[in-house]
Amino acid sequence: MRRIVRTLALLFVGFVALALGIDAIVASRQPVLNPGAAEGILRTFDEDGNVYEKRLAVVDDAGTLWIQWGHHFRAWYHRLLRNPEVEFVRNGEVGAYHAVPLESLRHE
DSSP-derived letter for residue 34 is: P
Predicted TM-score of the model (pTM) = 0.58
pLDDT band at 94 (very low <50, low <70, confident <90, very high): very high
List the domain boundaries for the chain.
1-30, 39-98
Each residue's pLDDT tens digit, 23-67: 788 766 665 555 555 788 889 999 899 999 988 888 777 877 787
* Dihedral sign (CA 35, 50, 76, 99): negative
pLDDT at residue 14, rounded to an integer: 92
